């Protein structure tokens, strides 16, 4: 009799689980490219809390910081194949898989946090979400805002483009960023994010660019001395989800994921506004020196915009599309 009761309860459990898969708790795995204390980490924590709350504790996440689950670009492939649930990474590392998101990497396109929010949370952002599902098999469910990518190096203060001459600068494997440095007169070195700290430490490269908060989260102040406060790229970092895994979820869990992503995105914008100056101050205290770009950055901007933008009109959906985007930001059209 006891055995009968046991198998009956097992059958009931299995039956219930199969009839309503949402009762199965799941901890999603989230790859995070950066270290602790950065905007990616903050977005991941906020998303986890929100998801837990919105699923009555059934769903949670485990964050794997510092590229433990592979380099950022590799995580897009893994998520696309359904081998990884989520990844938080810089948008420039999504562009090779879904070219239209390159619009967010065009130099001097985004002038402020407000511009970043307008682009990602409005109509343009929705189109980028759709394109990324189509092109790369991953769904953007949230955004982290990380601030402008400033240039760091270990050799000398850099203010003008002439000062850049001879420096070996690491860039992500992103054509738009490579072309931007070429417009500035040097040939940069594409290198995976996961190799960048060691590359700087060993002197394979002299410098790189990333936001203040990322420089701090990655401990680059230990291997870099000089910062140039350029504002060519406002770093936007999506939380992407494997579309295959998203489609496996019941409707209520899908809705909870989307709502949690939205709430975490709002948190990210507020967090940046409060933390960026504090972290910049800490980097100075740790010994880094900040230079402003010469002549209000005019030459940096003129060269990058005139030489890089025309090459990418088609990639980002054509000149008309770009004009619509500029209009949505209250900017002059081309």
Residues that bind ligand MLT (CB under 6 A): 33-34, 72, 89-90, 92-93, 172, 193, 210, 214, 237
Q: Which is nearer to ligand MLT, 80 or 92 (CB)?
A: 92
At its nearest, how many Å lie between ligand MLT and the CB of residue 93? 5
Q: What is the 3-state secondary structure (H, E, C) of the chain?
A: CHHHHHHHHHHHHHHHHHHCHHHCCEEEEEEECCCCCCHHHHHHHHHHHHHHHHCCCCEEEEEECCCCCCCHHHHHHHHHCCCCCEEECCHHHCCCCCHHHHHHHCCCCCCCHHHHHHHHHCHHHHHHHHHHHHHHCEEEEEEEEEEEEEEEECCCCCCCHHHHCCCCEEECCCHHHHHHHHHCCCCCEECCHHHHHHHHHCCCCCEEEEEHHHHHHCCHHHCCCEEECCCCCEEEEEEEEEHHHHHHCCHHHHHHHHHHHHHHHHHHHHHHHHHHHHHHHHHHHCCCEEECCHHHHHHHHHHHHHHHHHHHCCCCCCHHHHHHHHHHCCCCCC
Q: Which is nearer to ligand MLT, 217 or 253 (CB)?
A: 217
Q: Which is nearer to ligand MLT, 172 or 293 (CB)?
A: 172
Q: Which is nearer to ligand MLT, 150 or 316 (CB)?
A: 150
At its nearest, how many Å lie between ligand MLT and the CB of residue 298? 25
Residue nearest to ligand MLT (CB): 90
At its nearest, how many Å lie between ligand MLT and the CB of residue 250? 31
At its nearest, how many Å lie between ligand MLT and the CB of residue 188? 11
Q: Which is nearer to ligand MLT, 196 or 291 (CB)?
A: 196
At its nearest, how many Å lie between ligand MLT and the CB of residue 178? 12
At its nearest, how many Å lie between ligand MLT and the CB of residue 233? 9
Q: Which is nearer to ligand MLT, 93 or 265 (CB)?
A: 93
């Amino acid at each position: 009799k006891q055995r009968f009761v046991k198998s009956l309860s097992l059958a009931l459990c299995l039956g219930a689980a199969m009839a309503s898969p949402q009762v199965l708790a799941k901890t999603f795995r989230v790859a995070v490219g950066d270290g602790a204390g950065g905007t990616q980490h903050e977005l991941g924590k906020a998303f986890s809390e929100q998801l837990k709350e919105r699923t009555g504790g059934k769903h949670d996440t485990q964050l794997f910081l510092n590229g433990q689950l592979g380099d950022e670009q590799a995580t897009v492939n893994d998520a696309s194949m359904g081998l990884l649930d989520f990844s938080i990474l810089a948008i420039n590392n999504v562009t090779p898989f879904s070219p239209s998101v390159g619009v967010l990497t065009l130099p001097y396109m985004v002038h402020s946090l407000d511009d970043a929010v307008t682009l990602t949370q409005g109509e343009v952002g929705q189109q980028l979400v759709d394109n990324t599902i189509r092109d790369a098999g991953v769904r953007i469910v949230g955004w982290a805002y990380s601030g402008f990518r400033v240039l760091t190096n270990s050799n000398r203060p850099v203010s003008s483009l002439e000062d850049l001459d001879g420096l070996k600068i690491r860039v992500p494997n992103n054509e738009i960023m490579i072309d931007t440095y070429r417009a500035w007169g040097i040939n940069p070195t594409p290198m995976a994010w996961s190799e960048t700290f060691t590359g700087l430490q060993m002197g394979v490269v002299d410098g790189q660019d990333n936001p203040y908060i990322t420089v701090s989260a990655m401990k680059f102040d230990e291997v870099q001395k000089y910062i140039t406060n350029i504002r060519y790229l406002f770093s936007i970092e999506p939380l992407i989800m494997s579309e295959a895994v998203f489609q496996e979820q019941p409707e209520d869990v899908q809705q909870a994921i989307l709502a949690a992503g939205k709430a975490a995105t709002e948190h990210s914008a507020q967090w940046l506004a409060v933390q960026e100056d504090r972290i910049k101050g800490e980097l100075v205290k740790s010994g880094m020196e900040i230079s402003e770009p010469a002549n209000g950055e005019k030459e940096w901007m003129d060269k990058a915009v005139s030489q890089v933008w025309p090459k990418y009109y088609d990639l980002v959906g054509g000149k008309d599309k770009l004009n619509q985007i500029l209009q949505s930001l209250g900017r002059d059209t081309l």
